[in-house]
Amino acid sequence: MCLCKCGGKRDCCGPIVPPTNRAKQLRTALFVIGGCHLIVLFIKCYLMGIFAGLSDLVGLIILLLAIIRFDYCLVIAYIVLNLFETFSLIVVLGYYLQTDMGKNVP
């Protein structure tokens, strides 16, 4: 347990606000999302190389910290990171479809 340097009794590594029962239920849902994201990470690394999963690895670390600390801000950062990843995949898919399934590449 790491205590704050101000001499307080609060655990600085734990959640700032005590979690409610609803927060504990939603934490279970975040564990499921983290497990699915871990599977996606392994699939991406297998199919596209080890460096293709770096953003997913960063996202998993952010999600793990959000789960441990019950931190809403980190969950929002995780969502934004995944939105960037989703939009980049949509751009690649659009280019693929626009070039007639990759046949008419300039």
Residue-wise pLDDT for 5-18, tens only, equals 555 666 666 777 77
Average pLDDT, the chain: 85
**What pLDDT score was predicted for residue 70?**
86
The dihedral through the CA atoms of 24, 31, 86, 52 has a sign that is positive
How does pLDDT run across 48-90, given as a tens digit for each residue?
889 988 999 999 999 999 998 888 899 999 999 999 989 988 9
How far apart, in whole angstroms, are the C-alpha atoms of residue 94 and residue 80?
A: 21
Rounded to 5 degrees, φ, ψ at 3 are -95, 155
pTM of the model: 0.76
User: For residue 106, what pLDDT band results from cuts at 50, 70 and 90?
Assistant: low
Q: What percent of the chain has a predicted confidence (pLDDT) above 70?
A: 85
How far apart, in whole angstroms, are the C-alpha atoms of residue 25 and residue 67?
A: 11
Q: How far is CA 89 from CA 82, 85, 86, in A?
A: 11, 6, 5
